[in-house]
């Protein structure tokens, strides 16, 4: 059991000979920095506008940018697409809502680490979904990671966010795991086509969620957009989300996924830097211990060789 996917799981197998593996690692590192920056921008908007507005901006701008890029490159769009593609887009949309709720209420480093706990959930879900029984080593790695999740959750539970934001971050990471378990079934589709489908569906889902929650007792908080800072942060969320997606897609297209995924988990380190520089969060033992216990087993689960999912 692992996240060990064949290169064709995510993208076409055609790989330009001039594109080196080192370049793919740099692209993945760039995506980690960019996604951490997006998370920091979202956190910085707390107090300026409702987190649901941030989610709408992230979804709609990403759709506009990815659609423009796809049309420029003349990549065929897929609509309505297979059932698996809809599962990927709908589950990912729910995860997006949970992500921005968590980012609005948790320190960036804590929320990003919880969001990056998805390898643990992949390992857990692979047994009932794919029939891949975990080894004792994998079970130990999962237990170690869950202990780290527990430390991070209890470390924040005493704060102002409470358990709602922690559970939202964990729900988002579970949605990522579900998406990754289904990616191998979409191997024949171009990654940009998948990205456009997800962006389109997520835009509709997020807008409907905002309307529904606003009409059922959770009206949007008043906006504070009279200065340039919130507008720049909103633009940063949309631009970083799109750029991060493009960088990650390019990295997985030309590099080995089982080696690139641990690079993506470095988001937590960059998020920790943002916490220290902009929010002066202390480096307490609970935070550092929880991050180590979550990320190290996650890296091991990604790299651990295991049986690949049965191809359709």
- DSSP 8-class letter at 160: S
Enumerate the domain spans of the chain: 20-303
Task: Report whether 287 contacts 155 (CB < 8 A).
Answer: yes
Interior CA angle at 103 toward 97 and 106, to 5°? 130
Taking Cα atoms as reference points, which of 125, 136, 64, 167 lies closest to residue 304? 136
Neighbours of 217 (CB within 10 A): 6
Q: How many CA atoms lie within 13 A of 273 on its CB side?
A: 8
Helix (H/G/I), strand (E/B), else coil: 236: helix
115 or 217: whose pLDDT is higher? Answer: 115
What's the pLDDT score for residue 4?
Answer: 40
38 or 24: whose pLDDT is higher? Answer: 38
**What is the chain's mean pLDDT, rounded?**
76
pLDDT at 7 over 60: no
Two tokens at 48?
A: 């300026």
What's the pLDDT score for residue 204?
Answer: 92
Separation of CA 261 from chain center: 12
Global pTM value: 0.76
User: What is 23-59 written as a DSSP string?
Assistant: HHHHHHHHHHHHHHHHHHHHHHTTTTS-HHHHHHHHH
**Alpha-carbon gap, residue 154 to 275, rounded angstroms:** 19
If you search the block for the tokens 């935070």, which residue do you land on?
A: 287
Q: Each residue of 125-139: pLDDT tens digit? A: 777 766 777 777 777
**Alpha-carbon gap, residue 156 to 141, rounded angstroms:** 23
Q: Each residue of 220-236: pLDDT tens digit? A: 666 766 778 888 888 88
């Amino acid at each position: 059991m692992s996240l060990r996917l064949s290169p064709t799981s995510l993208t076409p197998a055609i790989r330009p000979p001039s594109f080196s593996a080192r370049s793919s690692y740099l692209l993945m590192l760039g995506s980690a920095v960019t996604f951490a920056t997006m998370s920091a921008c979202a956190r910085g908007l707390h107090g300026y506008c409702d987190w649901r507005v941030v989610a709408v901006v992230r979804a709609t701008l990403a759709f506009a940018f990815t659609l423009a890029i796809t049309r420029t490159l003349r990549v065929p769009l897929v609509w309505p697409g297979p059932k698996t593609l809809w599962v990927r887009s709908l589950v990912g949309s729910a995860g997006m809502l949970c992500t921005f709720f968590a980012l609005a209420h948790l320190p960036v480093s804590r929320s990003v680490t919880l969001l990056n706990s998805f390898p643990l959930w992949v390992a857990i879900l692979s047994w009932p979904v794919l029939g891949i029984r975990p080894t004792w080593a994998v079970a130990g790695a999962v237990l170690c990671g869950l202990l780290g999740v527990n430390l991070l959750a209890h470390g924040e539970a005493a704060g102002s966010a409470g358990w709602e934001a922690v559970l939202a971050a964990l729900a988002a990471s579970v949605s990522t795991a579900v998406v990754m378990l289904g990616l191998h079934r979409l191997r024949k589709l171009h990654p940009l086509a998948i990205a456009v489908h997800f962006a389109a569906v997520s835009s509709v889902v997020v807008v409907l969620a905002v309307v529904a929650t606003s009409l059922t007792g959770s009206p949007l908080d008043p906006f504070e957009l009279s200065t340039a800072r919130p507008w720049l942060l909103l633009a940063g969320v949309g631009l970083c989300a799109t750029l991060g997606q493009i960088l990650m897609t390019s990295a997985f297209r030309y590099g080995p996924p089982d080696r690139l995924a641990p690079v993506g988990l470095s988001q937590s380190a960059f998020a920790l830097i943002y916490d220290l520089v902009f929010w002066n969060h202390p480096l307490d033992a609970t935070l550092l211990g929880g991050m180590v216990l979550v990320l190290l087993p996650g890296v091991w689960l990604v790299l651990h060789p295991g049986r690949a999912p049965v191809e359709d």
